[in-house]
Structure 1
Amino acid sequence: MASKIAARIVEAAKAHTRRVDKYIGYGTAGFRTKADLLDHVMFRVGVVSALRSKMVKASIGVMITASHNPEEDNGVKLVDPLGEMLEPAWEVLATEIANLPDDKLSESIVSLIEKSNIDLSTRSSVIVGRDTRQSSPALCQAVIDGIKAVEEDSEIADFGIISTPILHYLVVCTNDGGKYGDPTVDGYVAKLSRAFRTLIGEDNKRGNYEPTLIIDGANGVGAVISEKLIKALDKTLAVNLVNVGPPGILNHDCGADYVKVQQREPLNVSSDCGARCASLDGDADRLIYLYFDEAGMFHMLDGDKIALLFAEHFNDLLKKSQLNLKLGMVQTAYANGSSTNYATKVLNVPVTCTPTGVKFLHHAAQEFDIGVYFEANGHGTTLFSENAVKTIKDAASSGGNAAAQELAGFLNVINSTVGDAISDLLGVEAILHSKGWSIKEWDTMYQDLPNRLLKVSVADRNLVTTTDAERRVVTPEGLQERMDIIVAKFKDGRSFVRPSGTEDVVRVYAEADTQEHADELGKEVAAAVSELCSGNCKL
């Protein structure tokens, strides 16, 4: 039986031959590179997803996206039955199969089926979604061709253009029989909007909180979903949506990554806008806030500020509700030092540091009853353990415990399956409303140390390896020593480098007592990386 399926796959693969020798790895966000190199990878991912579904006897998700990357890139990742990232062992298998010569494909498929004891009589079920890139429809078809090569009557749910977080949501809802929510896009929008309206109540203006917001849709799928959300919110939140798509270019001079890296406003948002702005990225899983003060000065509130807003509010609600639940935060080395100090020294909330990549943060957050995790780039969410969900719901249902009832409201606003910019946005707005805070009051919770994030283009990003949760460089030899000397020159100086999981670049983070010093520190470290890795620095 295995050999017959392998033969069918090989025959179908003739329409998706491997025409490039470039090795394409499964990084922190799946396979990602130039779109014109991905046809054979997509077909083979379709094959892997169908076999994975048969093995686990559940629906698997496939998302075609390159998130914050430029329009010419694309990528794909697989989602396991509980909405989590693909099991690491299968990441390795998927990578091996994606990079095999065509004549080795049959042998590898037979080996995978036999070693994994896959029951081929089980019908495969795969949920597919894609972003708005021009290359996505053809690559989506390659995935579907791969699924059908395993089993012609596979159950394929092609949802077309959706955000990455919605795909995770759909996988969870499909596999749990709808307990988490209705497994449709409308079900996702309805669940979040209904929960938000419940938290806000009758008076959507409170204290210094104004229910008006600009959303930068990055000319991507976030704009598509935001339009649906705006209608469902029914004027609870007045939204001005900008960067909604063509003729605007995906992620070009807009979006969360642009705002974070360039530390400036996106296209179509100016200093006279008079409202806070939320920037999404290309597939709506990252969120960055920004505003201009009275003097017209730009201010950015990144993933660290979002994480601390959630942690501070949940910490306060736990105290008021008198619920004995353990709250913790998870960050990476790239979190601003001031945010870590505020969490540990002011809030007394424990902080765990992990390597970059949501799969690492998500796992660490599961160690807490309520685990808040965010990368500085704005990708993150809050996890609630089964114990926390039961404890909060029981306390809320007994009546008279307003803090527990508010916590229960957040259980439905927050998409705990994955970092979700739309869900996080509603969470931020609900907290600001609850506190009666303006964005300026949120911004002054603590003062960020000035920082700078740079990119160094290199021929091979794998030249750079790290240890100690990416806080120390192992290779190339001599780079960490050079960095130590550079960092020692600056007051409050910190700097880390790591290979990107999504682009052929090395990322450099620098932090110091002034913006001038942070910029200078970042440039010197980037120059050292460029020299030792034969790269080019992008400021």
Structure 2
Amino acid sequence: MSSSLPVDAIKVASDKHPKPSDVRYQYGTAGFRTLGKLLDSVLFRVGILAALRSKRLDGKTIGVMVTASHNPEPDNGVKLVDPRGEMLEASWEAHATTLSNASTTDAFIEALETLVQTAKIDLSKPARVVYARDTRPSGPSLVNALEDGFKAIGAEARDAGVTTTPILHYFVRAINTKGTPYSYGEDSEEGYFTKLGQALKKLVAGRPPVSPLLIDCANGVGAIAAKTLAAHLGDTLPIVLENTAITTEGALNNACGADFVKTSQKLPPSLSNVLKPGQRACSLDGDADRLIYFYLDERGSFHMLDGDKIAGLVAAFIVEQVKIAGLEEQVKVGVVQTAYANGASTKYLQERLPVKCVPTGVKHLHHAAERYDVGVYFEANGHGTVLFSDDTQATLRDYQPSTPAQSRALENLVSLTELINQTVGDALSDMLLVETVLSHKSYTGVEWDSLYVDLPNRLVKVVVSDRNSFKTEDAERRLVSPPGLQSKIDGLVNRYQGGRSFVRPSGTEDVVRVYAEANIRTQADELAFRVAGLVYDEAGGDPASRPKEFL
């Protein structure tokens, strides 16, 4: 192994992937994400960065996923996955941003040499990566650029092909834990589907058969995975797949999928003649890491069951199982939410277990959830999972139940640790988790929905010239800048029964998001637009973006 960078090989390859002069890249919560046609140089450089990250961690395997999740089809992106299947360590996000913005090949080499020194990377260590992509048309050429990066630095790279983001995360942990006491599973798609399928069968054994579940696959890679999963589940959970047109141009996430259902709060038009009243249905997003459930009532009215509803259902069930097992002293369950969580869901959960609010973004939720013995987190958008600490898993392994009821509850908890993809939010794993709880409680969508009633809410965005002038505190629930704006918002909120509103800058674009709740739908809408009006006036927003409701 060489202990210096292969500069000549990197230079030759880098010149084939020049950085566009007029684009600035930013590695955010979801990695890099923009139009696919602008990402060639980024993918090449990420290939080298992933290899260096692996060397820094003594040759552990690093994951690279090429996807733009719920974004429209022309977009694409890339993110790195650390050895336990978690998101890239925050300090390396800055390295990714620096490398991607080096204006020339020489500047890129210089930035690499600086990174090797500052991060104390031993270049003689091996570099191992596993990579995959979703079904976007821009994927193959971006993967070629990524592979050029791997070759230039001499990384040992494994192509996992076209698969979901959560399966790639699963692979990373499975590869890195192989042969250890913490082995996560077989590092193959077959291993993943077998693990989930067997866990579900154990959890619902002896329970009455269920009616078919309809899955809206967002015309994305989830369609391929869901089809394989359906074969593994057989009659245990009959599945009907819709929106599976993965080769139709422009179909991905278009008027379907989890993001469409959550933001428009209505049925995808493609399902209007398919979904029957009372039937359970759910939507995945383009890379199958988000999940939103919904159903039509007997009058044909649409009801959405989002991430908050999933958190409520799942957390209450886990608390119940822990209690029945006689483990409530040893195993503490907690829930993590963001300010976007519906106030009614927070109240429902707080009556049952500890609830913590953190800033928006999966990495914040994941880290906070790790502080509990069992941490449940779901963003309202349907992205989330449940984390069982290593100590808790050891407790479950060693515990001696003293009654048949305790024994059954313990078996359920152990099977849940197998069913849940604990590396990242996984729509298919979360779907099986929801189906498990519905089966155990004998709930239909109606009964699940009635656990609590959502407060009416509204989300409005205001285009501003500089989102960075908006600064928040208290998990993004209060503004500290611009000065004086929060007290004006407080004054408005106090006029509405059940009123709540907060303002936060977007992490990716020059817009400010305004969220509002109130006891009555018209008041939630009015409060949202009035607060948006305050933001607009304060920030000198773009006149074209001034919502017509408050002209």
Q: Give the TM bin, normalised by the shorter chain.
A: over 0.9
Q: Give CA deviations for 1:14-47 in whole Å, capped at 9, x if unaligned.
A: 1111113332211111111122221111111111
- Judged with a 3 Å threshold, the aligned counterparts in structure 2 of structure 1 residues 10 and 464 are, in CA distance, closer, same or farther, namely farther
Which whole-Å CA distance do the structure 2 matches of 1:428 and 1:177 have between them? 29
Shift of 1:487: 2.4
Task: Letter of the 1:285 partner, please give it.
Answer: D
Which whole-Å CA distance do the structure 2 matches of 1:432 and 1:424 have between them? 12
Which whole-Å CA distance do the structure 1 matches of 2:509 and 2:167 have between them? 24
What is the SS of the residue equivalent to 2:198?
Answer: helix
Which whole-Å CA distance do the structure 2 matches of 1:36 and 1:288 have between them? 30
Asked if the contact 1:33–1:503 (Cα under 8 Å) also holds between the matched residues in 2, the reply is no
* Matching residue of 2:234: 234
Residue 304 of structure 2 is aligned to residue 303 of structure 1:
no
What is the SS of the residue equivalent to 1:432?
Answer: helix
Which whole-Å CA distance do the structure 2 matches of 1:159 and 1:180 have between them? 17
Shift of 1:465: 3.0
* Matching residue of 1:281: 285
Residue 103 of structure 2 is aligned to residue 101 of structure 1:
yes
* Matching residue of 2:378: 374
* Matching residue of 2:152: 149
Which whole-Å CA distance do the structure 2 matches of 1:145 and 1:14 have between them? 11
Give 1:413's match in structure 2, choosing from 405, 408, 419.
419
Which whole-Å CA distance do the structure 1 matches of 2:172 and 2:516 have between them? 38
- Judged with a 3 Å threshold, the aligned counterparts in structure 2 of structure 1 residues 172 and 538 are, in CA distance, closer, same or farther, namely farther
* Matching residue of 2:133: 130
* Matching residue of 2:367: 363
What is the SS of the residue equivalent to 1:16?
Answer: coil
Q: How does 1:71-470 map to 2 (within 5 A)?
A: 71-102=73-104, 103-151=106-154, 154-177=155-178, 179-205=183-209, 210-245=210-245, 246-247=247-248, 249-270=251-272, 273-274=276-277, 275-323=279-327, 324-345=330-351, 347=352, 349-395=353-399, 400=404, 401-458=407-464, 460-470=466-476
Asked if the contact 1:6–1:110 (Cα under 8 Å) also holds between the matched residues in 2, the reply is no
Asked if the contact 1:392–1:404 (Cα under 8 Å) also holds between the matched residues in 2, the reply is yes
Asked if the contact 2:514–2:532 (Cα under 8 Å) also holds between the matched residues in 1, the reply is yes
Residue 34 of structure 2 is aligned to residue 28 of structure 1:
no
Asked if the contact 1:494–1:512 (Cα under 8 Å) also holds between the matched residues in 2, the reply is yes
Q: Give CA deviations for 1:416-475 in whole Å, capped at 9, x if unaligned.
A: 111111100000000110111111111111111111233444555444332221112234
Asked if the contact 1:2–1:114 (Cα under 8 Å) also holds between the matched residues in 2, the reply is no
Q: Relative to structure 2, which stretch is displaced further, 325-334 or 137-146?
A: 137-146
Task: Letter of the 2:253 partner, please give it.
Answer: N
Which whole-Å CA distance do the structure 2 matches of 1:63 and 1:22 have between them? 22
Residue 541 of structure 2 is aligned to residue 534 of structure 1:
yes
* Matching residue of 2:38: 37
Shift of 1:138: 1.1
- Judged with a 3 Å threshold, the aligned counterparts in structure 2 of structure 1 residues 465 and 131 are, in CA distance, closer, same or farther, namely farther
Which whole-Å CA distance do the structure 1 matches of 2:535 and 2:21 have between them? 28
Asked if the contact 2:529–2:547 (Cα under 8 Å) also holds between the matched residues in 1, the reply is no
- Judged with a 3 Å threshold, the aligned counterparts in structure 2 of structure 1 residues 399 and 414 are, in CA distance, closer, same or farther, namely farther
Shift of 1:398: 8.0
What is the SS of the residue equivalent to 2:184?
Answer: coil
Asked if the contact 1:414–1:424 (Cα under 8 Å) also holds between the matched residues in 2, the reply is yes
Asked if the contact 1:255–1:282 (Cα under 8 Å) also holds between the matched residues in 2, the reply is yes
Shift of 1:228: 0.7
Asked if the contact 1:67–1:282 (Cα under 8 Å) also holds between the matched residues in 2, the reply is yes
- Judged with a 3 Å threshold, the aligned counterparts in structure 2 of structure 1 residues 23 and 529 are, in CA distance, closer, same or farther, namely farther
What is the SS of the residue equivalent to 2:169?
Answer: helix
Asked if the contact 1:313–1:431 (Cα under 8 Å) also holds between the matched residues in 2, the reply is yes
Which whole-Å CA distance do the structure 1 matches of 2:468 and 2:211 have between them? 46
Residue 34 of structure 2 is aligned to residue 14 of structure 1:
no
- Judged with a 3 Å threshold, the aligned counterparts in structure 2 of structure 1 residues 238 and 132 are, in CA distance, closer, same or farther, namely same
Structure 2, gaps ≥5 residues long: none
Asked if the contact 1:29–1:501 (Cα under 8 Å) also holds between the matched residues in 2, the reply is no
Which whole-Å CA distance do the structure 1 matches of 2:403 and 2:228 have between them? 33
Q: Give CA deviations for 1:335-387 in whole Å, capped at 9, x if unaligned.
A: 11111111112x1x001111011111111111111110111111100000112
Q: Give the structure-1-normalised TM-score.
A: 0.94
Shift of 1:305: 0.7
Q: Relative to structure 2, which stretch is displaced further, 223-232 or 495-504?
A: 495-504
Q: Give CA deviations for 1:118-171 in whole Å, capped at 9, x if unaligned.
A: 2222221111111111111111111111121111xx211111211111111000
Asked if the contact 1:64–1:136 (Cα under 8 Å) also holds between the matched residues in 2, the reply is yes
Task: Letter of the 1:112 partner, please give it.
Answer: L
Task: Letter of the 1:140 partner, please give it.
Answer: V
Q: Relative to structure 2, which stretch is displaced further, 512-521 or 228-237?
A: 512-521
Which whole-Å CA distance do the structure 2 matches of 1:397 and 1:137 have between them? 52
Task: Letter of the 1:216 partner, please give it.
Answer: D
Task: Letter of the 2:114 partner, please give it.
Answer: S
Structure 1, gaps ≥5 residues long: none
Asked if the contact 2:470–2:481 (Cα under 8 Å) also holds between the matched residues in 1, the reply is yes
Shift of 1:476: 4.3
- Judged with a 3 Å threshold, the aligned counterparts in structure 2 of structure 1 residues 200 and 55 are, in CA distance, closer, same or farther, namely same
Which whole-Å CA distance do the structure 2 matches of 1:39 and 1:388 have between them? 44
Q: Relative to structure 2, which stretch is displaced further, 483-492 or 513-522?
A: 483-492
Shift of 1:415: 0.6
Asked if the contact 1:458–1:505 (Cα under 8 Å) also holds between the matched residues in 2, the reply is yes
What is the SS of the residue equivalent to 2:270?
Answer: coil
- Judged with a 3 Å threshold, the aligned counterparts in structure 2 of structure 1 residues 215 and 358 are, in CA distance, closer, same or farther, namely same
Shift of 1:172: 0.1
What is the SS of the residue equivalent to 2:22?
Answer: coil
Aligned identity (percent) is 51
Which whole-Å CA distance do the structure 1 matches of 2:403 and 2:239 have between them? 34
Shift of 1:393: 2.6
Which whole-Å CA distance do the structure 2 matches of 1:491 and 1:515 have between them? 11
- Judged with a 3 Å threshold, the aligned counterparts in structure 2 of structure 1 residues 513 and 314 are, in CA distance, closer, same or farther, namely same
Task: Give the aligned CA root-mean-square deviation in angstroms.
Answer: 2.0
Asked if the contact 1:332–1:469 (Cα under 8 Å) also holds between the matched residues in 2, the reply is yes
Which whole-Å CA distance do the structure 2 matches of 1:72 and 1:443 have between them? 36
What is the SS of the residue equivalent to 2:335?
Answer: strand
Shift of 1:329: 0.5
Which whole-Å CA distance do the structure 1 matches of 2:509 and 2:293 have between them? 24
Asked if the contact 1:303–1:375 (Cα under 8 Å) also holds between the matched residues in 2, the reply is yes
Q: How does 1:501-516 map to 2 (within 5 A)?
A: 501-502=507-508, 505-516=511-522
Task: Letter of the 1:107 partner, please give it.
Answer: E
Task: Letter of the 2:519 partner, please give it.
Answer: D
Which whole-Å CA distance do the structure 2 matches of 1:494 and 1:183 have between them? 46
Task: Letter of the 1:257 partner, please give it.
Answer: D
Asked if the contact 2:472–2:479 (Cα under 8 Å) also holds between the matched residues in 1, the reply is yes
Q: Give the structure-2-normalised TM-score.
A: 0.92
Which whole-Å CA distance do the structure 2 matches of 1:303 and 1:4 have between them? 45
